[in-house]
Amino acid sequence: MRGPPATKRPLAVLVGAAIAAAGVGAPPAPAAAVAATPAVRLSDELTRTYVANPWRLAAVRRAPDPRARGVARLRWLTEDGLPEVYLVLRRAIHPRFGRWLQIRVPMRPNGRTGWVRERHLGPLRLVRTRLVIDRLRLRARLYRKGRRVWSAPVGVGKAGTPTPPGRFWIREVLRVPGSGGVYGPWAFGTSAYSRLSDWPGGGVVGIHGTNRPGLVPGRPSHGCVRVRNAALRRLAGLMPVGTPVRIL
């Protein structure tokens, strides 16, 4: 005896089932988020440091992506009206948005970093010096290619207005008219900011001379670093803009 006749299924249904079974024509899986390549370190801030001036007043972002949140904007000039310079830490390449550079950003709070498109900065310049300021021993040392080339006692901030610790860099060098003033013959502007935001320039921590050399070494300042004038003149011939500064 024959069983019940097989139910005939439409050809289109059979073809569709075969395609689904083979995984052909299935809707694509959601694409994974596109991210930048792992960042490549450019500066070690010891014997090799890269710096650059801005080419465009562009946004500085938290990640190498134009959709990332902004943290600051590049600027042409320092608080004293000299060309701004940024210390470059790393490079990353985004598959959609190209090459990016991670930079240190001079702003409050100290120690901020961010990412900018590489084309928004000028050519990278290599700096081989670094300055170390030891607040405990009240001494500063300059190194070139890892070798010490200068050392001197310093005056730093008093207890209520300490010189801030951290990693900074030299943003500007100013020749001070005359040599008998409170700032001596030279002044270096750093990326560090003191507690006194109402000071001229927003409280930028400077490294400068003094007309009271008897207070060096010591803790007489509102955050700046004081150097005796003769030692400062030697430093001015050795330390270029962009030099990384480590304050211990």
The encoded tokens of residue 60 equal 């500085």
Residue 27 within a domain? no
For residues 17 and 15, give the distance between their C-alpha atoms in angstroms, rounded to a whole number. 5
Residue 190 within a domain? yes
Q: Cβ neighbours of residue 31 under 8 Å, at least 6 residues apart?
A: none
Q: Are residues 105 and 134 in the same domain?
A: no
Q: Is the pLDDT of residue 122 over 70?
A: yes
CB atoms near residue 177 (< 10 Å): 8
Percentages helix, strand, coil for the chain (3-state, rounded to 5) are 10, 40, 50
Q: Are residues 232 and 133 in the same domain?
A: yes
Check residue 111 and give left, alpha or beta (phi > 0: left; psi -120 to 50: alpha): left
Last residue of a domain, one of 89, 108, 127: 127
For residues 98 and 192, give the distance between their C-alpha atoms in angstroms, rounded to a whole number. 31
Q: Is the pLDDT of residue 241 over 50?
A: yes
Residue 224 falls in the annotated catalytic set: yes
> For the chain, what is the domain count?
2
Q: Are residues 206 and 145 in the same domain?
A: yes
Question: Above pLDDT 90, what percent of the chain?
Answer: 79
Q: Are residues 154 and 237 in the same domain?
A: yes
For residues 227 and 203, give the distance between their C-alpha atoms in angstroms, rounded to a whole number. 18
> Per the confidence metrics, is the pTM higher than 0.95?
no
Over residues 34-87, the pLDDT tens digits come to 677 899 999 999 999 999 999 999 999 999 999 999 999 999 999 999 999 999
Q: Are residues 133 and 114 in the same domain?
A: no
Q: Are residues 162 and 219 in the same domain?
A: yes
Residue 222 within a domain? yes
Residue 65 within a domain? yes
Question: Picking from 23-27, 34-38, 199-203, 211-215, which range would have the lowest pLDDT averaged per residue?
Answer: 23-27
Q: Is the pLDDT of residue 12 over 50?
A: no
Last residue of a domain, one of 81, 103, 127: 127
Q: Are residues 151 and 214 in the same domain?
A: yes
The residue range of the domain holding 195 is 129-247
Last residue of a domain, one of 84, 109, 127: 127
Is residue 192 classed as helix, strand or coil in its secondary structure? strand
Residue 6 within a domain? no
Residue carrying structure tokens 């650059």: 52
Residue 197 within a domain? yes
Q: Are residues 122 and 134 in the same domain?
A: no
Q: Are residues 120 and 227 in the same domain?
A: no
Bridge partners for 87 per DSSP: 51
Q: Domain with 215 in it: what CATH number?
A: 2.40.440.10
Q: What is the pLDDT of residue 180?
A: 79
Q: What is the pLDDT of residue 178?
A: 80
At residue 16 the predicted structure's pLDDT band, cuts being 50, 70 and 90, is very low
For residues 150 and 138, give the distance between their C-alpha atoms in angstroms, rounded to a whole number. 14
Q: Are residues 184 and 153 in the same domain?
A: yes
Q: Domain with 114 in it: what CATH number?
A: 2.30.30
Q: What is the pLDDT of residue 139?
A: 98
Question: Above pLDDT 70, what percent of the chain?
Answer: 84
Residue 120 falls in the annotated catalytic set: no
Give the burial string for 44-83 (b: 16+ CB within 10 Å, else e).
ebeeebbbbbbbeebbbbebbbbeeeeeeebeeebbeeee
